[in-house]
Amino acid sequence: MIDERDWVEFKRKLKIKTEIDLDLYKAPQMQRRIGNLMTRNGFDTYCAYFEHVVKNRDELASFIEYLTINVSEFFRTPEKFSKLETDVIPELLKHSPKLNIWSAGCSIGAEPYSLAMIMKEMTPGRQHRILASDLDIEILSKAKQGTYTANELKSISPQRLAKYFDKVDGKYVVKDDIKSCIEFKRHNLLKDSFETGFDLILCRNVVIYFTEEAKDQLYASFFRALKPGGILFVGATEAILNFRTMGYTSYQPFFYQKPI
Please write the tens of the pLDDT for every residue from 63-119. 877 776 655 667 767 678 889 999 999 999 999 999 999 999 998 899 999 999 999
Residues 59, 244: contact at Cβ < 8 Å?
no
Q: Which long-range contacts (CB under 8 A, 24 or more apart) does 37-45 make?
A: 37/63, 37/66, 45/3, 45/6
Last residue of a domain, one of 67, 86, 116: 67
**Boundaries of domain holding 23:** 4-67
Residue 72 lies in a domain: no
The verdict on 24 and 90 lying in the same domain is no
Residue 123 lies in a domain: yes
Number of domains making up the chain = 2
Q: Are residues 19 and 132 in the same domain?
A: no
168 and 105, same structural domain?
yes
Domain end call among 42, 67, 92: 67
Output the domain CATH number for residue 182: 3.40.50.150
pTM of the model: 0.79
120, 223: one domain: yes
- Say whether both 17 and 85 belong to one domain: no
Q: pLDDT tens, 137-153?
A: 888 999 999 999 888 88
Q: Considering the chain, what is the average pLDDT of its residues?
A: 89
**193 lies in the same domain as 113:** yes
Q: What is the pLDDT of residues 193-217, one digit of tens each?
A: 999 999 999 998 888 778 889 999 9
**Does 73 reside within a domain?**
no
- Collapsing DSSP to helix, strand or coil, 250 comes out as strand
